[in-house]
């Protein structure tokens, strides 16, 4: 699980750790078990052979991402039915056996709230870990629970065990890990497998287990590891009113920033904040002096990037009109679109009440708005990805019927 901690360079990679107090772990005969540290290639290879044979493991990660573009992996926790392991990625120099496990189609990976874990492990593996089962997603489909129920909450509700929040803000790059860190990290995976069993049994009875599998698979498709610098401007807000030339400037300066951030391993905002990118697109300064007058542009920005940015903008100003990017699509009739979205949102709330599910799980407002926009602009296939699959007969057909009427 992600822990936003102050960035710090790891100390010397000490593999010796303090012995944590023993934990009573369910599914392990209720005996006292100490988490086992893995800090060498041979230890990792032996553990991975066991995990491949097990067919299902619980996984969590600890990482730091406050002053870097890429998350810095500090610990990988893995539990099977018999043992909790803490894999030290700072000490193990060959993760190949673990990558094989995480990407094996024959090993189910059980996570809780795994979007950020998938990103960090996807960067390690070069592809998304799969197949997976996310206990937060699973719990939401049971009903009468929140859309983002915490791991601690689910362990308390389904297993009757109270867990503290412990080391939620901690430096996972420093070695040796403290006893408190080790205990916290081990507990984060210790209960995932029994919790997943209870949730899966309940979902099977409700006929919704397949829905959860679809959602987990869709999540692996939504998380992009290969961020295209040329498309990074599309993730910025406040761009619908920009002209085509404004968008061309924004596209180029955003792509430049993305490459800078990647190459220097810095957060995007450390290179140039979003607000200043949009200001560059609107003002389109033609000299360093004009650049310096833009609100929020610091002297350090001018000194480091001034000439580069002015040269980029000058190139855009010379581009022929027909080569500029198209304006981003807008509803043909904003008032009509607003009424349609409101109508569909009310329908989603009604369907959610029938199913006993959170409305945002039935259909997010973003998906509903996208459906309305696609219908109004006449796309031949108006369905957003989210409204396909299990939602099609239960939710989407009713929404389409309302739109057509």
Active-site residue list: 60, 62, 117, 184, 188
**Please, what's the b/e burial string for 311-349 (b: 16 or more CB within 10 A of its CB; e: otherwise)?**
ebbeebeeeeeeebbeeeeebeeeeebeebbebbbebbe
Q: Is 132 helix (H, G, I), strand (E, B) or coil?
A: strand
Q: Is 97 helix (H, G, I), strand (E, B) or coil?
A: helix
| Pairing outcome for strands 72-79 and 84-87 | antiparallel
End-to-end CA distance of the chain: 46
- Whole-angstrom Cα distance, residue 24 to residue 137? 26
Q: Is 223 helix (H, G, I), strand (E, B) or coil?
A: coil
Beta-carbon count within 10 A of 211 CB: 20
**Residue 230 is encoded by which pair of tokens?**
């040329």
Q: 400 Cβ partners below 8 Å, 6+ apart?
A: none
Q: Where are the alpha helices (DSSP H) in 19-114?
A: 41-54, 96-103
Q: Give the alpha-carbon dihedral of 180, 185, 187, 192, to 10 degrees.
A: 170
């Amino acid at each position: 699980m992600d822990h936003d901690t102050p960035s710090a360079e790891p100390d010397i990679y000490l593999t010796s750790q303090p012995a944590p107090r023993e934990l009573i772990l369910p599914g392990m005969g209720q005996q006292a078990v100490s988490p086992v540290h893995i800090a060498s290639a041979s230890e990792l290879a032996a553990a991975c052979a066991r995990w491949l044979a097990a067919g299902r493991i619980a996984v969590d990660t600890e990482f730091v991402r406050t002053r870097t573009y890429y998350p810095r992996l500090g610990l990988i926790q893995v539990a099977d039915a018999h043992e909790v392991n803490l894999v030290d990625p700072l000490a193990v120099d060959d993760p190949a056996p673990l990558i094989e496990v995480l990407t094996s189609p024959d090993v189910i990976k059980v996570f809780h709230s795994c979007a950020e874990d998938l990103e960090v492990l996807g960067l390690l593996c070069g592809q998304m870990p799969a197949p997976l089962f996310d206990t937060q997603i699973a719990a939401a489909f049971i009903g009468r629970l929140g859309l983002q129920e915490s791991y601690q909450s689910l362990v308390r509700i389904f297993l009757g065990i109270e867990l503290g929040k412990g080391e939620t803000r901690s430096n996972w790059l420093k070695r040796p890990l403290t006893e408190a860190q080790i205990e916290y990290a081990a507990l984060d995976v210790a209960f995932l497998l029994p919790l997943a069993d209870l949730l899966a049994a309940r979902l099977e009875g409700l006929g919704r287990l397949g829905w959860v599998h679809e959602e987990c698979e869709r999540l692996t498709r939504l998380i992009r590891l290969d961020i295209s610098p040329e498309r990074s401007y599309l993730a910025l807000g406040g761009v619908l009113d920009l002209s085509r030339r404004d968008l061309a400037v924004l596209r180029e300066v955003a792509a430049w920033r993305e490459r800078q951030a990647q190459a220097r391993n810095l957060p995007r905002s450390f290179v140039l904040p979003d607000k200043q990118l949009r200001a560059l697109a609107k003002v389109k300064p033609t000299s360093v002096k004009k650049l310096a007058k833009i609100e929020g542009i610091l002297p350090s920005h001018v000194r480091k990037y001034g000439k580069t940015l002015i040269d980029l903008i000058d190139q855009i100003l010379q581009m022929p009109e027909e080569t500029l990017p198209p304006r981003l699509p807008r509803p043909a009739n904003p008032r009509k679109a607003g009424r349609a979205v409101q109508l569909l949102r009310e329908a989603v709330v009604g369907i959610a009440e029938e199913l006993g599910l959170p409305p945002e799980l039935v259909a997010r407002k973003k998906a509903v708005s996208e459906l309305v926009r696609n219908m109004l602009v006449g796309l031949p296939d108006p369905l957003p990805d989210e409204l396909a699959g299990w939602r099609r007969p239960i939710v989407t057909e009713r929404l389409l019927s309302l739109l057509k009427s």
